[in-house]
Structure 1
Amino acid sequence: MDCSRWRFEVTSYANGARLNLQPGLRIRAGPVPGPWYGRAMSTPLLLLLTVVRILSEPPVVAEGEAETASPPNIVIVLADDLGMGDLGCLNDDARTSTPNLDRIARQGVRFTDAHSPSAVCSPTRYGILTGRYCWRSALKRGVLWTDDPLLIESDRPTIASELRARGYHTAFVGKWHLGLGATGKTDWTGPLDAGPHTVGFDQSIGIPSSLDIPPYCWFRDGRGDPSPTLTIEGSEHRRADGGGFWRAGPIAEGFVHEEVLPRSFDESVAIIQDQAIHRSDQPLFLQLCLSAPHTPWLPQERWQGTSGAGHYGDFVNQIDAGIGRLLTALEESGLASDTIFIFTSDNGSHWPAADVARWNHAANLNWRGQKADIHEGGHRVPLLIQWPARLAPGATIEQTVCLTDLYATSIAAAAEDHPTPFQGGEDSVDLLPLLLEDDPSSLKGRAGVVHHSLDGMFAIRVGDWKLIEGLGSGGFTEPKRRGPADGGPAVQLYDLASDPEETHDLAAERPDKVASLQAALDRIRASGRSVVR
Structure 2
Amino acid sequence: MHLNLLKLFLLLAPLMVGCTTQPKAPNIIYILADDMGYGDIKALNANSQIPTPNLDQLVNEGIAFTDAHSNSAVCTPTRYGTLTGQYAFRSRLKSGVLVGHEPALIEPNTSTVASLLKAANYQTACVGKWHLGLNWAKKDTMQPLFHGGNLWDIFHTENVNYAARVSGGPCDLGFDYSFIIPASLDIAPYVYLENDQATAAVNRQVPFYKDESARGIWYRRGDVAEDFDHTTVLQTLTQKALDFIANRNEEQPFFLYFPLTSPHTPWFPSEEFAGKSQAGVYGDFVAMTDDVVGQIMQSLDNAGIADNTLIIFTSDNGSHWLPSDVEQFNHRANGPFSGMKSDVWEGGHRVPMIARWPEAIKAGVRSNTQVSSTDLMATCAELTGQSTPESACDSYSFLAALTGKESAQNDDKVMVHHSVNGTFAIRKGDWKLIDAKGSGGWSLPEGKCTDSPDQQLYNMHTDSSEQHNLYNEYPEIVKELNVLLETYKTGNEAR
Q: What is the TM-score normalised by the length of structure 1?
A: 0.83
Q: For 2:407 and 2:174, how far apart are their aligned partners in 1?
A: 30
> Comparing 322-331 with 62-71, which one deviates more in the overlay?
62-71
Q: Which of 78, 83, 86 does residue 40 from structure 2 map onto?
A: 86
* Superposed CA offset, 1:453-472 (max 9, x none): 00000000111111000111
Matched, 1:343 2:313: yes
Deviation at 1:205, TM superposition (A): 0.2
User: What are structure 1's unaligned runs of at least 5 residues?
Assistant: 1-60
Deviation at 1:528, TM superposition (A): 5.0
2:403 match: 436
Q: For 2:390 and 2:240, how far apart are their aligned partners in 1?
A: 31
2:422 match: 456
* Superposed CA offset, 1:305-340 (max 9, x none): 110000100001101111111001111112211111
Secondary structure of 2:171's partner?
A: helix
Q: Which of 261, 268, 288 does residue 234 from structure 2 map onto?
A: 261
1:114 match: 68
Residues 140/237 of structure 1: CA separation in 2 closer, same or farther (3 Å cut): farther
1:256-335 equivalence runs, <5 A: 256-275=229-248, 279-335=249-305
Residues 163/130 of structure 1: CA separation in 2 closer, same or farther (3 Å cut): same
Q: For 1:378 and 1:442, how far apart are their aligned partners in 2?
A: 24
Secondary structure of 1:85's partner?
A: helix
Asked if the contact 1:474/1:481 (under 8 Å) is kept, the reply is no
1:208 match: 182
Matched, 1:423 2:423: no
Q: For 2:375 and 2:447, how far apart are their aligned partners in 1?
A: 30
Asked if the contact 2:321/2:340 (under 8 Å) is kept, the reply is yes
Q: For 1:258 and 1:191, how far apart are their aligned partners in 2?
A: 26
Deviation at 1:425, TM superposition (A): 1.5
1:15-414 equivalence runs, <5 A: 64-65=16-17, 66-181=20-135, 185=145, 186-236=160-210, 238=212, 241=214, 244-275=217-248, 279-414=249-384
Q: Which of 467, 476, 492 does residue 512 from structure 1 map onto?
A: 476
Residues 442/129 of structure 1: CA separation in 2 closer, same or farther (3 Å cut): farther
Residues 299/480 of structure 1: CA separation in 2 closer, same or farther (3 Å cut): farther
Q: For 2:391 and 2:211, how far apart are their aligned partners in 1?
A: 41
Residues 421/364 of structure 1: CA separation in 2 closer, same or farther (3 Å cut): closer
Deviation at 1:432, TM superposition (A): 1.0
* One-letter identity of the residue aligned with 1:109: I
Q: What is the TM-score normalised by the length of structure 2?
A: 0.89
Asked if the contact 2:108/2:168 (under 8 Å) is kept, the reply is no
* One-letter identity of the residue aligned with 1:358: Q
**Identity rate, percent:** 41
1:471 match: 437
Q: Which has the higher contact order (CA 8 A, sep 6+)?
A: 2
Deviation at 1:509, TM superposition (A): 2.0
Q: For 1:182 and 1:404, how far apart are their aligned partners in 2?
A: 27
Deviation at 1:421, TM superposition (A): 5.4
2:489 match: 525
User: What are structure 2's unaligned runs of at least 5 residues?
Assistant: 1-12, 138-143, 146-159
Q: CA RMSD in A?
A: 1.9
Deviation at 1:241, TM superposition (A): 2.0
Q: For 1:237 and 1:481, how far apart are their aligned partners in 2?
A: 32
1:58 match: none
Residues 62/258 of structure 1: CA separation in 2 closer, same or farther (3 Å cut): farther
2:156 match: none
Asked if the contact 2:423/2:436 (under 8 Å) is kept, the reply is yes
Deviation at 1:407, TM superposition (A): 1.2
Asked if the contact 2:369/2:409 (under 8 Å) is kept, the reply is no
1:14 match: none
* Superposed CA offset, 1:89-120 (max 9, x none): 10001110111101111110001000000000
Asked if the contact 1:136/1:528 (under 8 Å) is kept, the reply is no
Q: For 2:220 and 2:22, how far apart are their aligned partners in 1?
A: 52
Asked if the contact 2:455/2:471 (under 8 Å) is kept, the reply is yes
Deviation at 1:440, TM superposition (A): 4.6
Deviation at 1:507, TM superposition (A): 1.0
Secondary structure of 1:313's partner?
A: helix
Q: For 2:271 and 2:392, how far apart are their aligned partners in 1?
A: 42
* One-letter identity of the residue aligned with 2:171: H
Q: For 1:374 and 1:381, how far apart are their aligned partners in 2?
A: 13
Aligned length: 461
Deviation at 1:237, TM superposition (A): 5.2
Deviation at 1:410, TM superposition (A): 1.5
Deviation at 1:497, TM superposition (A): 2.0
Q: For 1:345 and 1:203, how far apart are their aligned partners in 2?
A: 22
Residues 427/529 of structure 1: CA separation in 2 closer, same or farther (3 Å cut): farther
Asked if the contact 2:425/2:434 (under 8 Å) is kept, the reply is yes
2:153 match: none
Q: Which of 444, 449, 456 does residue 492 from structure 1 map onto?
A: 456
> Comparing 67-76 with 345-354, which one deviates more in the overlay?
67-76
Residues 445/473 of structure 1: CA separation in 2 closer, same or farther (3 Å cut): closer
Asked if the contact 1:466/1:496 (under 8 Å) is kept, the reply is yes
Q: For 1:199 and 1:445, how far apart are their aligned partners in 2?
A: 33
Asked if the contact 1:342/1:384 (under 8 Å) is kept, the reply is yes
* One-letter identity of the residue aligned with 2:488: I
Deviation at 1:155, TM superposition (A): 2.6
Deviation at 1:529, TM superposition (A): 5.2
Q: For 2:329 and 2:277, how far apart are their aligned partners in 1?
A: 10
